[in-house]
Structure 1
Amino acid sequence: MNQNIKKIIPGLLLGILVALISFYSAKFFNNLIGYKSLISSILLAIILGILIKTFFGIKNVFNDGLDFNVKKVLRIGIVILGIRLSISEIFSLGITGLPIILFCIISGLLTGYFLTKLLRLPSKLGVLIAVGTSICGASAIVATAPGINAKKEEIAYGITVITIFGLIAMIFYPFLANILEFTEKNAGLFLGTSIHETAQVTGAGFIYDETFGTENVGKNAITVKLVRNLSMVFVIPLMTILYKQSSSKNDQLINLKDLSKLVPMFILGFFLMSIIRTLGDLSFDSTSFINEENWKWITDQLTSISKFLLIIAMGSVGMTTDLNSLKNLGLKPFLVGILVATIVGLSSLLCITLFM
C-alpha cells in the first residue's frame, strides 16, 4: 500500500467515526423530542471535534488524515453538491451576489488597512488578516504570502486569527440570519459573503438547513462563496502590487501561471456537476434511458453522499481547531481580526437589508 495512503487512513477513519456518531446522535435526539431537524448533525460534528481536540488532544498519527478530510473530502463533497443546482440558478445567485461580494471585499480590505496603520501592526500580517477575512480564509492568505514575502510565523498567525473568528461566525451567523427572518436566498447570500473559509460557509449553510428545516440555504451559500473565491484571481495580484509600491519594492509580480493556480479545481468540478444536473433535467422524454423519477433518486443519493462527506469534513475542522492558540495571539492581531470580520458581516447585512 502506498505510504501516503497509510498515513491518511487513521485520520480518515476517525473523521468517519465522528461523522457517524454526530449523524445518528442528531437523528436520535430529533426523533426523541419530536422535531425533524432541531439539532444539526454538522454543528454536532464541529462541537464534538472541538471537544475531542481540547480535552483529549489529537495524536500525530491522525494529523495527515484529518488534513485530508478538511481539504480533499470537503472539496469532493462540494463538487458532488453541484448536482443540486442548475446552471441558471448558479448564474442567478452569482449575478445577485456579485455587488455584495465586491462591497464586502472592499470594506474588509480598507478596514484591515486602516486598523493596521492605527494599531501599528506589522504590515504583512495586517495584509494577510485583511485578505483572509475578506476573500476566502487560509487559501487567500497562503496565495498572498509569497507576493509580499510574508514570514512563516506571519502566515501561521494570520491563519489562526481568521480561523477562530470564522469558526465563531459559522456557529452563530445561521441563527442571526433566522432571527432577521431572511429568505433562503438572502440567508445564503449573507452566509456566503460574510464568513471566511469555504469549509465554514459550508458548515453554516447546512447548520441553517438542518436546524430550520430549509433545503436551499446550504447550496445557495456555497454557490455565492465559490463566486467570491474567484475574486482571488483579481484581488491578490492587486494587493501584491499595492504592497510592493507602498514598500518601494520592485520584485517580480505574479505572472499568468501563478494566476491560474488561484482558481481551485473543485470550483470547476462544482460547475461541471451543475451542467450535468442541467442536462439531466432537460433530457426527459418517452425514450429517455433514465426517467424523471430515477433521475430524482440519483440526485437525492448524491446529495446524501455529499452531506455525509461534509459532516466528515466539519468534524475534522473541529478536531484541527486549537482553541489554546488564542493564548498565543497578541491583542493587536486579535482586534484587527475581530473588527475586520465584524465589518465584513455588517457590510453584508447592510446590502441585503437595504437592497434585497
Structure 2
Amino acid sequence: MKIKNNLIYGLIILGIFTEISVLSTQIEVIKQIHISPLIIAIVLGTVLSHLFKHSFKEYLNDSINFSTKYVLRFGIILYGFRLTLQNLTEVGLEGLIFAIFIVSSTFIIGYIIGTKFLKMDKEITILTSVGSSICGAAAVLATESVIKTPAYKSAVAVSTVVIFGSIAMVLYPLLYEYNVFNLDLNTFGIYIGGTLHEVAHVVAAGNAVNTDVANSAVIEKMIRVILLAPFLIVLSFFWMKNDSKEGGKAVKRKIVIPWFAVIFCVVICFNSFGFISGKYIEVINDFDTFLLTMAMFALGLQTHISKFKEVGAKPFYLAFILFIWLIFGGVNGLEFIMNAMA
C-alpha cells in the first residue's frame, strides 16, 4: 500500500509541476518565441533534480518510472489525433518523398558519423540523430522507450534539439528574406517543415514568413511525425540484431515490437475519418501535451549535469553536422525532388 500511495502522491506532485510548465507557455515572452512546454519541462526537471534532496527523489521514483514508461507511451498514442492521412495529400507526392528523404538520410548520416568517425556511444548517436531527423523531443522520448536508454542520454539528445532547433527557427526566416535559396512560398514552407527539429520551431519559423508558409510547413512536419511509427518498428528489428556486451558475454537482445507505435498508426487512420469533432480533438491534444510534458519533466528529474560532463561535446558536434546537413542537404534534396517530379 505504501508503494501505491507513493505512486499516487508522486504523480500528483509531477502533475503540478507539469501544469506549471504548460501554463508558463502563456507568458507573453515565451509565447512569442514559441517555446514548447516539453522543453520547459525538461529544463525545470533538470534544475529541480539538483535542488531536491535524495530522499525526496527516492519518494518520487515510482512516479518518475511510471511517467517515463506508461504516461509517455500513452502520450505518443494520443499524438496520432494531431494527424490524418489527408496530410499526405496536402503537400503532394513531392512533400511525402522529401519527408522520407530527410528522415532516412539524416538518421543514416548521423549514425555513421556518430559511431564511425566520432566514436560515440550507439545509444546517444541514435537519440541525437532521431531528434534531428524526425520530430525533436517527442521522437527522442519515443525512441528511448524502444532502445531502453538511461534518462541522461535522452536529456543530452533533447538539449541538442533545443540548441540547434532554436538557431534554425531564427535563421530560416532570414534565409527567405534575403532569398538565399530562391524558393517560392509553398516550396519554402515544405523546406521548413522538412528540416526543422520541433513542431514549435516549424510554427515559429513559418509564421515569421507568412501564414501560407506556416500552413504548408506544419503539414510537411506532420508527415515527418507520421514516419516516426514505421521508423520505430524498423529500429526495433535493427536493435535486436545488435549484440550487447554484458559481463564480457554477448547477449542477444529480444525483439521489441513498439506496440504504442502500431496503435499510433491506428489512431491516425481512425482520426482520418473525422468521427470526432474538432472541439473534442482539441481537448485530446491539450491532454496529450500534458502527458508528454509530464514524461519530459520526469526525464529531467533523472538528469544531472555530471552526466553531461561524462558524455562530453561529441553529441553537440554531431548535432551541428546534422544541422548543416538539414540546411544545405535539405534544400538541394528538395530541389532535386521538385525537378524530378516536374
TM-score by length of 2: 0.69
The Cα of 1:188 is off from its aligned counterpart by 4.3
**Partner residue of 1:286?**
none
Residues 161 and 334 in structure 1, CA contact (< 8 A), matched pair in contact too: no
* CA–CA distance in structure 2, aligned partners of residues 345 and 107 of structure 1: 11
* CA–CA distance in structure 1, aligned partners of residues 104 and 292 of structure 2: 27
**Partner residue of 1:20?**
19
**Partner residue of 1:320?**
302
**Partner residue of 1:177?**
169
The Cα of 1:140 is off from its aligned counterpart by 6.3
Matched, 1:229 2:232: yes
What SS does structure 2 have at the residue aligned with 1:59? helix
* CA–CA distance in structure 1, aligned partners of residues 316 and 282 of structure 2: 39
Task: Give the stretch that moved more between structures: 263-272 or 37-46.
Answer: 37-46
1:87 partner amino acid: L
* CA–CA distance in structure 2, aligned partners of residues 353 and 277 of structure 1: 32
Task: Give the stretch that moved more between structures: 177-186 or 339-348.
Answer: 177-186
1:270-300: per-residue Cα shift (whole Å, max 9, x none)? 111111111226xxxxxxxxxxxx7111211
1:271 equivalent among 259, 265, 271? 265
* CA–CA distance in structure 2, aligned partners of residues 25 and 129 of structure 1: 29
**Partner residue of 1:111?**
113
Residues 146 and 258 in structure 2, CA contact (< 8 A), matched pair in contact too: no
1:91-114: per-residue Cα shift (whole Å, max 9, x none)? 866643222222223222322343
* CA–CA distance in structure 1, aligned partners of residues 326 and 318 of structure 2: 12
Matched, 1:355 2:333: yes
Q: 1:84 and 1:12, CA in 2 relative to 1: closer, same or farther beyond 3 A?
A: same
Instruction: Note the 1:137-216 alignment, pairs <5 A.
Output: 160-161=152-153, 163-181=155-173, 185-191=190-196, 204-206=198-200, 209=203, 216=218
Gaps of 5+ in 2: 131-138, 177-187, 208-213, 335-342
Q: 1:231 and 1:340, CA in 2 relative to 1: closer, same or farther beyond 3 A?
A: farther
Matched, 1:133 2:111: no
Task: Give the stretch that moved more between structures: 60-69 or 98-107.
Answer: 98-107
* CA–CA distance in structure 1, aligned partners of residues 308 and 284 of structure 2: 38
What SS does structure 2 have at the residue aligned with 1:44? helix
* CA–CA distance in structure 2, aligned partners of residues 8 and 212 of structure 1: 41
Task: Give the stretch that moved more between structures: 305-314 or 3-12.
Answer: 3-12
Q: 1:172 and 1:251, CA in 2 relative to 1: closer, same or farther beyond 3 A?
A: closer
* CA–CA distance in structure 2, aligned partners of residues 223 and 209 of structure 1: 17
1:349 partner amino acid: I
The Cα of 1:50 is off from its aligned counterpart by 2.0
Instruction: Note the 1:87-106 alignment, pairs <5 A.
Output: 87-89=85-87, 95-106=97-108
Residues 174 and 205 in structure 1, CA contact (< 8 A), matched pair in contact too: no
Task: Give 4+ residue runs of structure 1 displaced > 6 Å after superposition.
Answer: 138-145, 210-215, 250-254
RMSD between aligned alpha carbons? Answer: 3.9
Gaps of 5+ in 1: 146-154, 193-203, 245-249, 282-293
Give the length in aligned residue pairs.
295
What SS does structure 2 have at the residue aligned with 1:321? coil
Residues 10 and 59 in structure 2, CA contact (< 8 A), matched pair in contact too: yes
**Partner residue of 1:200?**
none
Q: 1:354 and 1:41, CA in 2 relative to 1: closer, same or farther beyond 3 A?
A: closer
What SS does structure 1 have at the residue aligned with 2:323? helix
The Cα of 1:60 is off from its aligned counterpart by 0.5
* CA–CA distance in structure 1, aligned partners of residues 3 and 225 of structure 2: 30
Q: 1:321 and 1:253, CA in 2 relative to 1: closer, same or farther beyond 3 A?
A: closer
2:234 partner amino acid: S
**Partner residue of 2:49?**
53
1:323 partner amino acid: I
1:175-203: per-residue Cα shift (whole Å, max 9, x none)? 423421386654443345xxxxxxxxxxx
1:298 partner amino acid: Y
The Cα of 1:72 is off from its aligned counterpart by 1.9
1:170 partner amino acid: V
* CA–CA distance in structure 2, aligned partners of residues 10 and 187 of structure 1: 42
2:322 equivalent among 326, 344, 350? 344
Residues 49 and 302 in structure 2, CA contact (< 8 A), matched pair in contact too: yes
The Cα of 1:324 is off from its aligned counterpart by 2.4
Q: 1:189 and 1:239, CA in 2 relative to 1: closer, same or farther beyond 3 A?
A: farther
* CA–CA distance in structure 1, aligned partners of residues 18 and 147 of structure 2: 33
What SS does structure 2 have at the residue aligned with 1:12? helix
Q: Share of identical aligned residues, percent? A: 19
* CA–CA distance in structure 2, aligned partners of residues 186 and 89 of structure 1: 16
The Cα of 1:17 is off from its aligned counterpart by 0.6
* CA–CA distance in structure 2, aligned partners of residues 139 and 300 of structure 1: 22
1:100 partner amino acid: I
2:35 equivalent among 13, 34, 40? 40
Residues 10 and 61 in structure 1, CA contact (< 8 A), matched pair in contact too: no
TM-score by length of 1: 0.66
